[in-house]
């Protein structure tokens, strides 16, 4: 098994402001702004990136709907070894490797889809 832990989740929402208020006021998660005016909700060593329905960032879920989630896993192995394993498994890479912002800093990622076309990001931390 090369997956170590979840780095972040992407959540699609209808009303970005209402979602931010609920998670910061009710659940007391910390609001974080990153990239070009993107929003995330931080807790512990994880975060939830927010996408507004109809204005999702690429890459995104196959059919993003409010309440849908995408997952980002951190690999125990270097990403190049993960890419080799994905190719051996005949699993197409949708995008990457690309540099992104993870819950705990810069990451290098590839994107794949599971059998239900959910977007799965597999990453390694950049030093």
Q: What are the residue numbers of the active site? A: 121
Quote the distance between the C-alpha of residue 119 and its chain's center: 8
3-state helix/strand/coil string of 38-79: EEEEEECCEEEEEEECCCCCCCCCCCCCCCCEEEEEEECCCH
């Amino acid at each position: 098994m090369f997956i170590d832990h979840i780095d972040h989740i992407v959540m699609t929402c209808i009303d970005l402001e209402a979602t931010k208020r609920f998670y910061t006021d009710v659940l007391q998660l910390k609001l974080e702004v990153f990239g070009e005016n993107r929003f995330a909700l931080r807790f512990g060593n994880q975060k939830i990136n927010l996408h507004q329905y109809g204005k999702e960032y690429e890459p995104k879920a196959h059919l993003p709907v409010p309440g849908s989630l995408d997952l980002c896993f951190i690999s125990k192995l270097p990403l190049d070894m993960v890419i080799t394993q994905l190719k051996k498994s005949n699993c197409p890479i949708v995008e990457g490797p690309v540099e992104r912002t993870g819950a705990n800093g810069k990451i290098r990622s590839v994107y794949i889809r599971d059998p239900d076309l959910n977007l799965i990001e597999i990453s390694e931390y950049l030093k």
